[in-house]
Amino acid sequence: MTPTQSSLIYVVIGASALALVFAILLARWVLSRSRGTPEMQKISNAIQQGAEAYLARQYKTIGLLSLVVAALLGIGYGYFRHTTANDPVQDPKTFAMYVTASFLLGALSSAVAGYVGMWVSIRTNIRVAAAAMTSLNDALQTALRGGAVSGLFTVAMSLLGVGGLFAALSAMAPQGMDANEWARHIPFLIVGYGFGASFVALFAQLGGGIYTKAADVGADLVGKGGAGIP
């Protein structure tokens, strides 16, 4: 890998680290805002308990599924896939190790980004509602900054994972192989990262959609019952 390419990798890693720091600062600012009246806090606490219970159950299931898929990837690449001359690593078990490790890292990165985003969001809503009682501008700023935490964490974790893997594997070039040639092979070794991140995100999105829809329907039924609407 050329010095320019190495510099770009470290720029990506540095920018990702700065994005994480900025997201943490935004989260601290949001969490420092008022939580409103005791009645508002009571409802907010109930929402937080329900959301966190759901997250704990969902991520436990996703974690188990990720381990199963990682094991299948390792077995498939290590014992059933035949290597070709174009493969970056000729030893099937070594190839399987790279793919499986990148898959697990991608799954972990996606899970962390999703959990942090959800954790901040369920604490932002009460603060937005409290701010809206006094100032529309404060409410908009709180909502935007709370939402930015999730976006920044998602992008930063993705780039940090890919950049970190690329930098780590760049230093692990096999003896006798040109560094530039090895750099061209690295994307094929970390292809599991994208699969792992997408795997977790898919189940999180589907499960979250079902959970929120169930809560929405439940709230409608309670509201109709309270208002005497059949």
For 22-43, the pLDDT digits (tens) are: 999 999 999 999 898 899 899 8
pTM greater than 0.95: no
Query: Can you say how many angstroms the Cα of residue 167 is from the centroid of all Cα atoms in its chain?
Result: 21
How far, in Å, CA of 87 to CA of 127, rounded? 53
Query: For the chain, which residues make up each domain, given as ranges?
Result: 3-214
For 136-178, the pLDDT digits (tens) are: 999 999 999 999 999 999 999 989 988 888 888 887 777 766 7
Confidence of residue 90 (pLDDT cuts 50, 70, 90): confident
Mean pLDDT of 170-198: 79
How far, in Å, CA of 116 to CA of 197, rounded? 15
For 44-72, the pLDDT digits (tens) are: 898 888 888 888 988 999 999 999 999 99
For 13-22, the pLDDT digits (tens) are: 999 999 999 9
Segment (H or E) for 122: helix 92-132
| DSSP letters spanning 70-97 | HHHHHHIIIIIPPP-TT-S-S-HHHHHH
